[in-house]
Amino acid sequence: MTESQRTGDRLNTLLVVDAEGALFARIGTLQLGVPMWRTTRDPVDLALDGSTLILLDSDQAPSWERVYEWIRQGPTVVATRRPTVPNALDALHAGALGYLDIAADDEAVTRTLRGALRGEAAFARSVLGVWLQYQRHPELPTMAARLTERQRQVVQLIASGSTDREIAVRLGIRQATAQKHVANTLRRLQVRNRAEAVGVILTDPFRASASIDRIRHGNEPGVRGPRAS
């Protein structure tokens, strides 16, 4: 865990990173007992002193890698309208203080944010249960761990429906090279086709990248996976 996850320090301000304003409006109706303000700026550009809890709408993020950068700016709760255990695990491993389902009822959202403001980790029991299982049994196999960074990029683009030609364009490589990457990825995952490869990664609870879920729903603009190496 990171320093922001383990300190237990009480936070006295809530900063909502929300370009559209819907999340800020929702949180503004709750009785949290701390000053709250909204920004449309990139948190990386803000000078935060560590006493501010960052609540960011990950559904608006251009990429999950950007979310990682935001998490590193200070104690952060990642909010989403499409929560999944794998994405929550990614947030936990990245150093987030919590993971919030925006669609939850007011009581649950209030309880999560009040806990985070007290410096307490705010993750669902199901997420912490999987995380503890992995801590106790680090030898558990993970299909994503078998892939190189480039192969993870390839399988993410496959999940978005990209052809070999489109993969080549996105990664800035030749089409023949893209075809080799696809073949090597299928072989590494021990699957017969692209659909099986996507299925394997989507059901891997310990995979290293969270952006596949976002690609599957077609909600992530711009770069859809990790930055190309």
Tell me the residue type at 123. Answer: F
For residue 187, what pLDDT is reported? 87
Chain-wide mean pLDDT for the chain?
Answer: 78
Domain spanning 3-136: CATH 3.40.50.1370 = no
pLDDT digits (tens, 9 = 90+) for 26-46: 999 998 999 999 999 888 888
Interatomic CA distance for residues 38 and 24, integer angstroms: 7
Write out pLDDT tens, residues 97-110: 999 999 999 999 99
Q: How far apart are CA 79 and CA 56, in angstroms?
A: 6
Do 21 and 74 touch, CB atoms closer than 8 A? no
- Taking alpha carbons only, the member of 92, 84, 90 closest to residue 65 is 90
Fold assignment, 144-216: Arc Repressor Mutant, subunit A (1.10.10)
13-29 confidence digits (pLDDT tens) = 999 999 899 999 999 99
Q: Where are the domains of the chain?
A: 3-136, 144-216
Q: Is residue 194 predicted with pLDDT exceeding 50? A: yes
**CA dist 100 → 27, 28, 85, 227 (Å):** 12, 15, 11, 26
